[in-house]
Amino acid sequence: MIVELGHFALILAFAIALAQSIIPMVGAYKGWRDWMVVANPMATVQFLLVAFSYAALTYAFLVSDFSVKLVVDNSHTLKPLIYKISGVWGNHEGSLLLWVLTLALFGACAAWFGGNLPATLQARVLAVQSAITAAFMAFTIFTSNPFTRLAFPPFDGTDLNPLLQDPGLAFHPPFLYLGYVGLSMAFSFAIAALIEGRVDAAWGRWVRPWTLAAWVFLTIGIATGSWWAYYELGWGGFWFWDPVENASLMPWLFAAALLHSAIVVEKRETLKSWTILLAILGFGFSLMGTFIVRSGLLTSVHAFAMDPERGVFILMILAAFMGGALTLFAFRAPILEAKGVFSTVSRESALVVNNVLLAVSSFVIFIGTMWPLFAEMLFDRVLSVGPPFFNMAFTPFMVALAMVLPIGAMMPWKRGNLSRAMQPLWGLAAFSVAMGAVTWALQTGNSPMVPIGLALGLWVVLGSAADLWMRTGRGQVAYRLKRLARLPRADWGKATAHTGLGITVFAVSALMGWESEDIRVVQIGESYDKGGYTLTLTSVDRVEGPNYVSTMATIEAHRNGQLVTLLQPEKRFYPVAGMPTTEAAIDYKILRDLYITLGDPQDNGGWAIRTYIKPFANWLWFGCFLMALGGVFSLSDRRFRVAAGASRKSATAVPAE
Amino acid sequence: MNRLRVYLVGLVLSLCSPALALGPDEILDDPALENRARSISAELRCLVCRNESIDESNADLARDMRLLVRERLVEGDSDSEVMAFIVERYGEFVLLRPTTDGVNIVLWIAAPALFLIAVLSAGLYLRQRANATEQTKDQLSPDEEKRLRELLKE
């Protein structure tokens, strides 16, 4: 009964979404106030209905209602509780419902917190947002109904894909979805502004928190996904240039570009049409990501839902929204006049450079991801585009970005002076290069990767710190320290996020350049040395898990005769799904991870064991965390909290970033 | 066609079980040769897998390919000869780094070309902004100025 109610609530929400995408739009056009404001309660009710629908599906999973097809296909009575909850989105239908839920949530947020928006703009934003929600609801209801019942329910389910039964992956999709869907908000604002024909500083200020939030969620989503791959897939890779990973990286890069160019709109009222275009494309790439995942067009790790029919439906949504948006853009963009004038050496120009690098690198990933498809369809060539290509084509852009970042961040608005901006930076640049050179001299191999990564990372981190310090103005150190604490949170956010990027750059280079591995057959009781540790395989046991059987090795790691840690890599077998998984044993330390996976038993009674030393692996996740944290700091800046908008400019304006 | 592909992929996924990729028994005694084998393996795609190189893959076919690469190396082939041999046997699809011949050149020059176009258009835009005159709300239009004068006269 509850399941049917959930289904019914979704259909009801769909009807409301359709109405909400038309009525406020007409109201805003005609200037009918009551037709506009009705969007607010509609958005709330729509969200509550979808939330109920989602709760109903979760309930079916929790009580293991095996008359629901989705539960049978993706659950099992023995499955741990957390995976019963995460199992709701661990499949195509459920993840779509989550997608719809986040869309409705963001729409409702625009209704709840958008009180300071002009009435027509808010009405139009809510209408566009609701149109997107309606499209995805139609997709869910007509092609991927999660509430389908079975006439003859089986006794038990077929279990969730064991790879997905993992805490890291349980929370990876919701964050990613919050990010993808957050970009829909920027899209809705862009379309509403195009219809209004007005983009000003206030618009920039409204659209930025949504973009920032979306970017923060995407950062967390991508980082958790990468971390999951690192410990779960068994060889400690963190990025595979898989089509689905690329599908999340492209919107991330666009969101990063957008949140920087929105600053220019907010502070200087220029780059307007470009910012609008970025907002449209950013969400376009989110839809593209969904299309890539859902259609299974490009085979990949994530293709748990492959169905051409559904792919076509998403392609239609993509074509309709992008086609419509870009047509509207072509007609209306020329009327968006730029106001601010700035010289070629200025913060504005620096942010244009940032946008060029981020947008072009994203397009390069797009071309690389889609190339096998183009080549096969148009030229009848079946080929692959893999990591060697992406590393080669993408890295230069990131290197360039890291090189110009500290200079651009230091540049004043409007008119800058390169030598003055560089004045506090020369020393830092020299120091970073010197440290890179020292690393080059000290390391054993002769790959330039880590020295370059270290120099760049250091340069970005020190540059961010210098930027923050310069913001405190002149005066005595004690006075400046005091001011440091009182700087706007946006300044802290900027410095934190940039520091995170610097750390990530270094960690990626260290992990790729300095990793070392060891593959061998080990007998029980035998010891071997790796990276300064003496590792002893003491036993290999059979362990029963809740819904799996595990072969667990126990390895003692000694250093200088002292027991450092006990590592227990596992090979698990999930009988219901008939799938094996590898559980690596990882000893996390600040400077390195000791990473061990267990392989197959050998004919001579030994076990194949892979041991890796992964230098600075934790720094990678820490860097991503800092980036997200920086976004949160910025989001909490008072100019977003204070209801400062077009209506009233606060007299104590926050100093420009 | 599509349905067939779905079945094939399903079949393929069941073949790739996560265990150990490169096995200890496969490693060559000569470290220099083994290093070459590793770097070649990282550039070749496991045919029956998801997006994995044969170096990372656990599929039996990937193992066969790894052994084949090592066999050729031991027999004295150069890296490019080994690559050519594998491509002839398994097709262009195995190359994770696509070739530069034919239309693939488009893929390879896409990054520098796009960058050049973007830099040029950004440069033009910046020059135009630098030369433009500032229009602010503070400046009055001729009409407004006329009205202001009239108002002041009164």
Give SS3 for A544. strand
Mutate to test the interface with B, among A92, A360, A528, A597 (most CBs of B within 10 A): A360
Query: What is the rounded average pLDDT of the residues B9-37?
Result: 66
Mutate to test the interface with A, among B12, B40, B107, B137 (most CBs of A within 10 A): B107
3-state secondary structure B55-71: CCCCCHHHHHHHHHHHH
Contact B24 A396 (CB under 8 A): no
Report the distance separating Cα A541 and Cα A567, nearest Å. 13
Give SS3 for A503. helix
A272-295 vs A308-332: helix axis angle to the nearest 10?
Answer: 170
Instruction: Render pLDDT for A552-583 as a digit per residue (tens, 0 to 9).
Output: 999 999 998 899 899 999 988 888 878 888 88
pLDDT band for A200, please (50, 70, 90 cuts).
Answer: confident
Report the distance separating Cα A409 and Cα A429, nearest Å. 14
**Most confident segment among A222-236, A624-638, B138-152:** A624-638
Residue A11: what pLDDT? 96
Residue A413: what pLDDT? 87
Residue B81: what pLDDT? 92
Contact A107, A133 (CB under 8 A): yes
Q: Which helix (H) or strand (E) holds B43?
A: none
Contact A242, A636 (CB under 8 A): no
Short-list A69, A28, A74, CA closest to A151: A69
The residues near B119 (Cβ < 8 Å, ≥ 6 apart) are A356
Contact B19, A570 (CB under 8 A): no
* Whole-prediction pTM: 0.89
Tell whether the model's pLDDT for residue A416 goes beyond 70.
yes
Instruction: Render pLDDT for A88-139 as a digit per residue (tens, 0 to 9).
Output: 888 888 988 999 999 999 999 999 988 888 889 999 999 999 999 999 999 9
Instruction: Render pLDDT for B99-132 as a digit per residue (tens, 0 to 9).
Output: 888 888 999 998 999 999 999 999 998 888 877 7
Report the distance separating Cα B30 and Cα B52, nearest Å. 26
Short-list A472, A483, A464, A492, CA closest to A636: A492
A-B Cβ pairs (cutoff 8 Å, strict): 156
Beta carbons within 10 angstroms of residue B134's beta carbon:
11
Chain B CA closest to residue A300 = B50
Beta carbons within 10 angstroms of residue A430's beta carbon:
11
Which of A79-83, A426-430, A527-531, B45-49 has the lowest average pLDDT?
A: B45-49
Report the distance separating Cα A133 and Cα A230, nearest Å. 34
Give SS3 for A217. helix
Tell whether the model's pLDDT for residue B16 goes beyond 90.
no
pLDDT band for A307, please (50, 70, 90 cuts).
Answer: low
Report the distance separating Cα A655 and Cα A488, nearest Å. 8
User: Could you tell me the two tokens for A520?
Assistant: 């061998």
Short-list A234, A238, A240, A237, CA closest to A609: A234
Contact A242 B103 (CB under 8 A): no
Compare CB distances from A608 to B24, B53, B130 and report the shortest one's residue.
B24
A272-295 vs A167-196: helix axis angle to the nearest 10?
Answer: 140
Domain residues of chain A, as ranges?
Answer: 1-165, 169-332+347-386, 395-515, 516-617
What are the two backbone dihedrals, phi and then psi, of residue A594, each rounded to the nearest 5 degrees? -100, 120
Report the distance separating Cα A261 and Cα A199, nearest Å. 13
Residue B5: what pLDDT? 40
Alpha helix stretches (DSSP H) within A269-386: 272-295, 308-332, 347-379
Query: In chain B, positions 28-67, which contact chain A (CB-CB < 8 Å)?
Result: 42-43, 45, 50-53, 56
Report the distance separating Cα A298 and Cα A292, nearest Å. 7
- The pLDDT mean for chain A works out to 87
User: Could you tell me the two tokens for A584?
Assistant: 């690596």
Q: Which fold has domain B2-94?
A: Helicase, Ruva Protein; domain 3 (1.10.8)
- Sign, CA dihedral A100-A44-A138-A126, equals negative
- Sign, CA dihedral A293-A298-A303-A307, equals positive
Q: What is the ipTM of this complex?
A: 0.82
Short-list A153, A143, A49, A63, CA closest to A96: A143
The residues near A225 (Cβ < 8 Å, ≥ 6 apart) are A168, A169, A172, A176, A245, A248
Contact B115 A356 (CB under 8 A): yes
Contact B53 A343 (CB under 8 A): no
Report the distance separating Cα A527 and Cα A524, nearest Å. 9
Query: What is the rounded average pLDDT of the residues A603-612?
Result: 88
Which residues share a beta bridge with A573?
A549, A580
Rounded to the nearest 10 degrees, how much is the dihedral formed by the CA atoms of A16, A319, A121, A36?
-30
Residue numbers in A near B110 (CB within 8 A): 363-364, 367, 393
Q: CATH 1.10.8.640 in chain B: give the residue spans.
A: 2-94
DSSP-assigned letters across all residues of A100-157: HHHHHHHHHHHHHH-TTS-HHHHHHHHHHHHHHHHHHHHHHHHH--TT-B-SS--SS-
Compare CB distances from A608 to B20, B51, B119 and report the shortest one's residue.
B20
Strand pairing class (A592-601; A585-588): antiparallel
pLDDT band for A296, please (50, 70, 90 cuts).
Answer: low
Contact B125, A271 (CB under 8 A): no
Rounded to the nearest 10 degrees, how much is the dihedral formed by the CA atoms of B75, B78, B80, B85?
-10
User: Could you tell me the two tokens for A492?
Assistant: 């802290």
Residue A300: what pLDDT? 46
Report the distance separating Cα A324 and Cα A342, nearest Å. 33
Report the distance separating Cα A219 and Cα A455, nearest Å. 24
Contact B58, B19 (CB under 8 A): yes
Contact A343 B130 (CB under 8 A): yes
Report the distance separating Cα A630 and Cα A620, nearest Å. 15
Tell whether the model's pLDDT for residue B4 goes beyond 70.
no
Residue numbers in A near B96 (CB within 8 A): 384-389
Residue numbers in B near A338 (CB within 8 A): 129, 132
Report the distance separating Cα A530 and Cα A516, nearest Å. 9
Report the distance separating Cα A557 and Cα A611, nearest Å. 11
Report the distance separating Cα A517 and Cα A377, nearest Å. 40
Report the distance separating Cα B132 and Cα A604, nearest Å. 80
Chain B CA closest to residue A611 = B20
